[in-house]
A = this chain, B = another copy of it.
Amino acid sequence: MRIAELSRRSGVPIPTIKYYMREGLLPPGERTSPNQAQYEETHLRRLKLARALVEVGGLSIAAARDVLTLMDSQMNSLSALGKAQYALTTRRDHVEDEAWTEASRQVDELIAKREWRVGPRNPARLSLTEALATMHRLRQDDYFALLGEYAETVGHLAELEITAIMGRPDLDSMAEAVVIWTAIGDAVVSSLRRIAQEAETARRFGGYVDD
């Protein structure tokens, strides 16, 4: 298909498609003349995935490129799946103040208590530490009482997710699920949480926010 059809079928504007190609999120089409190229169904599929990671998953262009490159190159082991998942977590600078030290201790303790085996370089250790350090800096001391229940609940979800993913027929399709479910799953969970919070408030006190 030509780029206009690729745009129509994906719902992605042509300038965005060209931008994704320049940034390496989407391979170029096959040139059929100096100013025309041909695209296949694989382009359409990849374009939908790239857009989902950036727009719904909130990944930066660079992070999306890293994840997609990993998916292309080395999906031949479980450890490769793990690396794709690592690439989905944004790494940021952090200040190692008292709040950070305390949060870091809490993260280690939480992982040890649940007997979770987690690689020392899993970037989610750092993003969790930063989030908890922020709670300390903002003096949300009553939040920490919820942490054990959060971990238990999320552990239950992870069991279901891994079971479903491992039910897929091959590593490529498992890798796709790891990437999509992790990135888009964040949006599902955070939206559901906001809905459930309103529902729980309404259950106790009656009335919608809109009332």
A interface residues with partner B (beta carbon < 8 Å): 11, 48-49, 52, 55-56, 58, 78-79, 81-83, 85-86, 88-89, 92, 95, 97, 111, 114, 116-122, 124-125, 127-128, 130-132, 134-135, 137-138, 140, 142-143, 145-147, 149-151, 153-162, 164, 166-168, 177, 180-182, 184-205, 207-211
Contacts and interface: CB of A to CB of B under 8 A. Distances in A.
Nearest to A131: B187
* Chain copies in complex: 2
B138 A199 contact: no
Question: Can you list the 4 inter-chain pairs with the closest CB atoms, starting with the nearest?
Answer: A82-B209, A116-B199, A128-B191, A158-B196
B128 A188 contact: yes
B202 A118 contact: yes
B157 A193 contact: yes
Contact of A118 (B143, B184, B195): B195
A189 B197 CA distance: 15
B209 A154 contact: no
A157 B167 contact: no
